[in-house]
Structure 1
């Protein structure tokens, strides 16, 4: 076919003269394939495979296999996808920068040119995860929180400044601009890119991977992209294709319209619940039909954003007139908008498909008119609750056992009132944090305007929010403040305590800041199940605040309403939200905005001039960012720091990998975990406990408790991070005996074998490493679900874990484990920790893993226990041929470094 490939390069009118593009219709004709029947998302990936064909990494076979994608074919073919760019957030971006800085150091020590290590595609790092809500409910909260942020993170920001001057294609969007996904949507995404090939200007569609699982928000404007761990992103930006197995594509037909008063949040929580039940993990989801065509980009982006919560690789909407309208409203140039539309029309990929247009692996249907007002919680985003059932659900879970997602409390305790030392009454179900935050909703003007309108009506009705509730407004972009100010709604939000506190990912990532000491003391001493309500996308245990156990995801207007109500057991469908003027009962229906009221204000939200003005000045002379000074030079010198340290992943590095694969024999269990263990449980996240191994290490290194900052901010220091791995206050290691009442002990503890000593997981791991004893982790279903945290895999590897054996894995975490040289092994159907009677007292061997192993082959887990030896067949979840190479090299980082230094 090679002689026909050049015939696919066709000419089109870009709106600014003639341009070239690699034509998919022409490819279909050459291969005799109906490419127009392929899902649009598959076609975008196919264009990249065709355009980047080189006969080596990308072959004719790759092109033909993908062009012949069929709805029911087996998914064994590996796709090498070369992305147009990479996007990072700062929590994952700093360790990635540390890794490539370390690669430069290795290159220099080996007598090679350090500049050989250079991103080959544009890389944008958006600093959005570092700000915390220390100050709130005061006019200068934003200014004070930013000053604290810069004070805490000065060393990290200096390191980023070094990266900006050291790498030609590495750019930083500084703190205080917005959340990475909203900035990506409003500013970084250009629709189509162009490059010079000889005498031709070749156009191609935007595509990316990002180091945040919610990168999928960009799917709302027809961009193919998803979240990967920093480990995989490094390979992508250093010239490696992103490899993945050919996916199933689930088509979701949207029909009808949302009923009056419903929000995009209600819709996305319904879709999340529906698709999680359909088990779309690892699949592409593509939306089509008249309902999909009728909703605007902000709603599409909200749905795309939650793809990790429903488990899909993507939640994709094709490009159409609504996409073009969004580009016009957000200040893109006429020239690039014209090229964007012309390109997708030339490729016959413009427009949302109708029913029957595309061949999908499976088709699901959702009638938008069936969506109801909802929250999700109290522990998982897929656990949707209709508003009228929130009270009953919480009361039910309050006394249910933990194994049934409950809180294992006595039902009689629900109404008990406790008093804090400063005289505040607190009881179970009380809302202590109410936050309008997170990329999911703050990019959506309709729900933010709805929150403002609800606040206005509430204030006018005489409603207030109790002063001890920690309320905050942390939009994903400065644009939000502009339109809330222009519509005169911001003052009403402020009167209810929702003052502007930050532009960044705050409460949703665990940066809610602390409660008062008095509230913390009352909660812990009385074991109160307090609540948080936030407009975020994640509510896993201990993520929002270590002392708040019930966390609910809600639309921004509902966040305001529940803040006024003050307790999650208030039934907002039948009970008043609160008492207003003259003691009058005010109900939710009295203050809920109509769609007409919202639509009249939407013109303020898509103002091209405002967008252009906002993004034309990311920094100004004399601002906090301009005062940060990084060192110069191609190679980083690694000054002593508790924030940034040279990572140990290249110790003993040589140009050749080990000749023999290391065999796992006599391994001990470092931990045994149940179902739905998230990367929040595994990876260091949130606040650092003073008595934890990481807290002890920081104090030993002269850091005061007040200056601990968060684990996320210290991701550039492996000494902190490995000590924080498996240290979550809510993680339950089943090796630890249950309490007398049957409940499980929480926290990062384990039983060291054969001593039987109870230790922190970190301390036990260090003992095993000193004794040269390998370790394994055993787990249930959905191991590693949640954020795309590379430290969940890096920390696991540094603790000496050689394999994780689970019933199933989340996509990104499985990939990250392989990338760090840790074996992911999957129990066969019917086998589990429980069925095999594993306690952690056993030793483990892994057999049948020779030098010639194949992807997804069967290997044997040999269990030596008191009752004898069991041979358990398990599936090797090294899924693709390239992952075999990564593992043989000791991980993706040494593989890529050897490739670059050998070039």
Structure 2
């Protein structure tokens, strides 16, 4: 049986072979969700493995021996233990100076996280030190911001040199007016965010972004050095005396409960039919949405492949953040970033694909619009493993639907992106034989057969037509349930909801 490490969002880490525990109950009660705790407690005896259950693999993790790691740069998949960080950075020519240290956002911004970071900051202040790096603090919610303001942690972080940002995504998704460097400057930042793909935080491809715990981020801010190991290394206080940072500490739950903060919710009017939303037709940031067309009830034939992406294709590759976020309310404009970060399998370039009909190279959005507006032909995208991993941004599914896409065919999907595609009426389909990804060429066309009898668990047939005139076929799997199939037929989940309310 696998040992489970329950990382409660605001209660800290507990280790258990039982998926439900008293500390989680305390957290739910403290956050006004006691009814959930009571319901789970009622069925506590059922929340465990069946007697005699067997598992393919036994994983045991002794957290007492688990060394802190730093992940990156450019991907959360690359992990380096803190004891090896300096030599690894030097070997790979990663800048050792930490220009900016960032804690918070939706990830790693619990009361305990903020308290532990504040304890490190206070230790530094007691020795006459402040942050050497620029240091930003993004509370994960208004409740957290208000509670740490009341309890004093926020004041400590500010005295340490911290800049408190809004309770929002902020630099995690590129909403960052960064001014300490110029685009193209090679530099290192460290955050406790959940993603660190190239250019994600500040739109600078030369920013080496690392992710780690709020504790280590704060320690890096004190030292200003990526090679600093707070477990073994010393610092010099204001008088030149050496000292080691004390072990961080913090309560899992606030002693005086949570402060809900300012309530900014505005309830909609009871008579919504009387409300008209006025949007300027010349606005480049706002645009009223139009319903997508429902499925035509037929199988789809001769669809060109817009792009066969190579390697990792995250939602940052599919729909970039940063400066593009100002267009979130304008589907037409934000669709101009669709797949511009994905690597084209044919030429290993980004945003340079060959138009199937003209043979000319152009950007991905421009080619998609040509297929949609000139040829009136739906298209497909072919991708690899875990297609759509990363942030769960809906525009990564809205954009291909708006641009005339019909299906995304991949080796596998990130779960949330797969569901988002379904909600917008796109078909996320998986190669039954993963090796078929290699057989497909960028200039093939695709038929999808079996849509008229689409049912849960029933495979679809894909017929691939090559440029030479030969054809081959294979099977595609899907994870649609009955309700999701109705979304596809209606053209989107929103269309289906509108139908049911007529």
| TM-score (norm: length of structure 1) | 0.49
2:98 alignment partner in structure 1? 431
Supply the distance in 1 between the matched residues of 2:277 and 2:44 (Cα, whole angstroms): 49
Q: CA deviation at 1:827?
A: 2.2
Task: Tell me, yes or no, if structure 1 residue 618 matches structure 2 residue 263.
Answer: yes
Change in Cα spacing, 1:859 to 1:618, as seen in structure 2 (3 Å) is: closer
- Alpha-carbon contact 1:844-1:864 (below 8 Å) kept: yes
The alpha-carbon deviation at position 357 of structure 1 amounts to 5.9
Which one of the candidate residues 443, 455, 459 is aligned to 2:121?
A: 455
Equivalent of 1:541, from 195, 198, 212? 198
Asked if structure 1 preserves the Cα contact closer than 8 Å seen for 2:101 and 2:134, the reply is: yes
Contact 1:781 1:808 in 2 (8 A): yes
CA displacement 1:433-483 (0-9 Å, x = unmatched): 3111122221142x32221121122233343434xx442111124554566
What is the CA deviation profile of residues 5-51 of structure 1, one whole-angstrom value per residue up to 9, with x for unaligned ones? xxxxxxxxxxxxxxxxxxxxxxxxxxxxxxxxxxxxxxxxxxxxxxx
Q: Report deviation, 1:854.
A: 3.3
Q: Relative to structure 1, is the Cα distance of residues 889 and 488 closer, same or farther in structure 2, using a 3 angstrom cutoff?
A: closer
Q: 1:343 to 1:824 in 2, by over 3 A?
A: closer
Structure 1 residues 852 and 535: alpha-carbon distance in aligned structure 2, compared to 1, 3 A threshold: same
Give the alignment of 1:411-810 within 5 angstroms: 414=93, 428-445=95-112, 447-466=113-132, 469-478=133-142, 480-481=144-145, 484=148, 489-516=153-180, 519-521=181-183, 523=185, 528=186, 530-547=187-204, 548-570=206-228, 575-576=233-234, 578-586=235-243, 590-593=244-247, 595=249, 598=250, 605-608=254-257, 611=258, 614-615=259-260, 617-619=262-264, 633-640=273-280, 641-650=283-292, 658=296, 660-665=297-302, 667-688=303-324, 711=325, 713-728=326-341, 731-735=342-346, 737-738=347-348, 745-746=349-350, 748-769=351-372, 770-810=374-414
Work out whether residues 430 and 567 of structure 1, in 8 Å CA contact, stay in contact via their aligned partners in 2: yes
Query: Tell me, what secondary structure is at the counterpart of 1:821?
Result: coil
In structure 2, the CA distance between the partners of 1:773 and 1:843, relative to structure 1 (3 Å rule), is farther
Q: Does 2:12 match 1:299?
A: yes
- 1:43-58 map, 5 Å: none
Offset at 1:322?
2.4
Deviation at 1:499, TM superposition (A): 3.0
The verdict on how the C-alpha distance between 1:573 and 1:867 changes in structure 2, with shifts beyond 3 A counting, is farther
Number of residue-to-residue matches in the alignment: 495
5+ residue gaps, structure 1, are 1-250, 255-270, 272-286, 304-314, 399-413, 415-426, 620-624, 689-710, 739-744
1: distance between equivalents of 2:96 and 2:468?
A: 47
Matched residue SS, 1:687? helix
Deviation at 1:328, TM superposition (A): 5.2
SS in 1 for 2:209: strand
Q: 1 or 2, which has the higher helix percentage?
A: 1
After superposition, give the CA deviation of every residue in 1:766-791 in whole Å (9 maximum; x if it has no partner).
11221223322111111011222221
Three-state SS of the structure 2 residue aligned to 1:457 is helix
Note the alpha carbon deviations across 1:513-545, whole angstroms, 9 max, x for none. 3234xx21551xxxx2x2221112222232212
Distance 1:567 1:874, change over 3 A: farther
What is the Cα deviation at residue 812 of structure 1? 1.9
CA contact 2:134–2:221 (8 Å) conserved in 1 = no
- Mapped to 1, the partners of 2:145 and 2:418 lie a distance apart of 39
Taking a change above 3 Å as real, the CA distance of residues 499 and 888 of structure 1, as seen in their structure-2 partners, is: closer
**1:825 and 1:874 in contact (8 A); partners too:** no
Cα 1:878–1:350 shift into 2, 3 Å: closer
Would the alpha carbon gap of residues 681 and 358 (structure 1) be closer, same or farther in structure 2, given more than 3 Å must change?
A: farther
Task: Give the secondary structure class of the aligned counterpart of 1:365.
Answer: coil
Q: CA deviation at 1:557?
A: 2.4
Determine whether 1:368 maps to 2:63: yes
- Residue 531 of structure 1 aligns to a residue whose secondary structure is strand
1:479–1:649 CA distance, 2 compared to 1 (3 A): closer
CA distance in structure 1 between the aligned counterparts of 2:455 and 2:403, rounded to whole angstroms: 27
Q: CA deviation at 1:864?
A: 3.4
Q: Distance in 1 between matches of 2:36 and 2:397?
A: 38
Secondary structure, in 3 states, of the residue corresponding to 1:646?
coil
- Distance in 2 of aligned mates of 1:866 and 1:564: 60
Q: How far apart are residue 866 of structure 1 and its match?
A: 4.5
3-state SS in 1 of match to 2:452: coil
Q: TM-score, normalised by structure 2?
A: 0.85
Contact 2:389 2:413 in 1 (8 A): yes
Cα distance in 1 between the residues matched to 2:78 and 2:141:
28
SS at structure 2 position matched to 1:792 = helix
Aligned-residue CA RMSD (Å): 3.7
Between the aligned partners of 1:872 and 1:457, the Cα distance in structure 2 is 65
